[in-house]
Structure 1
Amino acid sequence: MSDTASLKALISETATYREILQQPDVWREAAQTIRKSRAALDAFLAPSLARENLRIVLTGAGTSAFIGQIAAPSLGSRLSRRVEAVATTDLVSHPEAHLPQDVPTLLVSFARSGDSPESKAATDLADQLLGEVRHLIITCNADGALNRAHEPREDSFVLLMPERSNDTGFAMTSSFTSMLLAVLLALGGDDESAVDALAAAAEALLEQQDSIARLAATVPQRVVFLGGGPLTGLARESALKMLELTAGQVVAYHDSSLGFRHGPKAVLDAHSLAVVYESAGSYSRAYDDDIVQELRASVGQDRVLTVSAGRADARVTAESHWTLPGLAEVNDDALHAVAFVVFAQFFALCCSAALQLTPDNPFPNGDVNRVVKGVIIHSLNNAASPVAALDGRR
């Protein structure tokens, strides 16, 4: 399908389209939730943050795990504490490897639904293995098992995201960005001007829907997403969105800007498209710029796109440079990721429609499900005996 108008008509009827477009408003709501909870949240966090040997673990499954990968470098720098991202899928399968020391721990759990078996199992294992652990739960579903389990607990604090962030589409969009923004504000401090800037930048980007649709109309066979530091996690999430929404018909890969040369560059061919997220700091951005120039020399100017932060007076530009206005003043790659990912979400959605798939359900035969199936949680004390065989949403 190459008709941009027809493509947009197809996506406009989907929940995924609605959930991508609503994000700026959802971010404003999420920020308001943090502001209203600030006194109680600070009182809950204070005993943990006062511990110099505190370990903060950011955890979730799939897209929710990538929130931690984006946020951890930024929060570690801001808090001067040990902040690590560990997926629940790793924590549950190898708990003693990821919880090797009995040190004071703040476990921050991200979950769209809170019904994934790994979500609650991760918190249960932390309770079992650690002498001092507190839980910050960030979820989008008030009815989820994770919320129900932790809401009554004195050693837990639940930040419930706006109701409409609980995406009904197959791919996580509003849920991902709202939870990412929430943890950055909750642990890094309120920044109303940053939230306003992110929302305005995303709105400006979404005004360029036709340009993104035209870019997707020819559907690249392979897409590579690159970024450094926190933006490496964003590259990973962007690649997953492309894989999910195109049902794997577009091969998507991710790497760091500096690491891509060390073998993974072999994935590129004449039918590939590369998207490079540019870092805010001039030192780190120099490495992004180097790989951009190298790739453009090898695969062509129009096959390498950049997404970067611009000044307040900048305009979103199409073609090979996408500059989001008003973000240069924010100067935090993890916060930039909240707005940058909207480009990848909408691009993947348009590629899905161009392939004549159903974005809200790209796998009608059930090969991959929005509701994760077949997860068995085994007892740590008796690994031969499963204690739960449950289906759960990410």
Structure 2
Amino acid sequence: MRPTIVLFTRDLRTHDHPALAAAEERGGGVVPLFVLDPTVLTRSARNRIAYLREALADLRDGLRAVGADLVVRSGDTVAETVRVARAVEAERVHLSADVSAFAADRARRLRAAGARERFAVAEFPGVTVVPPGGLVPATGDHYKVFTPYWRAWEARPWRRAERPPRRLGPLPEGLDAGALPGEECVERGTGRLSPRRIRGGEGAARERMRRWLRGGCSGYGEDHDDLAADATSRLSADLRFGCLSPLELARAARERGGCDPFVRQLAWRDFHHQVCAAFPLLARRDYRPRDTRWRDDDAAFAAWCEGRTGVPVVDAGMRQLLEEGFMHNRARLITAAFLTRELRVHWRRGGDHFHALLTDGDIADNYGNWQWVAGTGNDTRPNRSFNVLRQSRRFDPRGDYIRRYVAELADVPAPRIHAPWESARPASGYPEPLFDV
């Protein structure tokens, strides 16, 4: 029997990896492969590239521990996979199914190449808890509203979690594993490298998961909107790169008890993925077109990006993003609402800025949430009112979150900490505020 290539993409782990488990079960040898695509690299945030480097090093260590290795190549993913397939005379290529337009095109080209080169291509679940096509409403090809999706998601049986490989065996003779990407790759990305970004890799991710399940998970429902408490899981980047299995995490959270509100967030993640699978242009076009009049105000947009709008909670969120490559979930909602509803700047500009910095930047989740906030997405109330200052007072009542990230306001007491302040923003650019001061 000829070997199977396992093409790693956004599934950089050995635990609960259906594509890897199926290859091991087949026998004939497994060739783990990751291809660093330069065109993807130049569109990726520096924070994500840095995380990726660490995740690949950790994955290589994990594979070597079971007798294998990670083959690393650089170039077009399909072309490099074909080269490796020829070199080892592979019979099959396994990969995890994904939903972005890029991933769909990659899978299509890989299947076409396989038909020419005479190797089979098989896609497996692993990026979400429930596969994007696993839940289909009676009318339509996907769920457009979360609540009915959530009911179906809760009722659907989940697949079993796959065990990590016991023994994979060495690479075929003569196949060079190749070098991991170097630090120079980081500079090819977008945005800036955040000084307090999260460290990547399955080992670090699993330790974060263990701490979360032991500690904050049961209090998530009560505390997750508290900006100063920072009571969220911080597992979003680990899920984005597949260093954690979302299924394994969801199962473990269910078993702990009291974690249902957190499990619901994993369902939201799945929801956005099935929307993106049905609407691959989610990052570029309105999911539900609205007659919104957007403003082209570069000065206002620049001030928002830099955290100098003069609205304390907005500036705190944007500075957290710059400093950590991460932003609290409630702050993401507040900053996105301010840009799209107050400044009337197009959601795509905001989504692109987030995507250029977020370590957890994910097409489906990032742009799905941006469209939800902007009223062009899956929100059933697209014109809902949103008072930024009321949000600030409610979710950061003492102003501790604001002081943490806006040094200029470190000595301002509550409740004055929430009021607009004189930042270094340009004098040119804001419409009259729509919120109550």
TM-score (norm 1): 0.31
Larger radius of gyration between Structure 1 and Structure 2: 2
Higher strand proportion: 1
TM-score (norm 2): 0.29
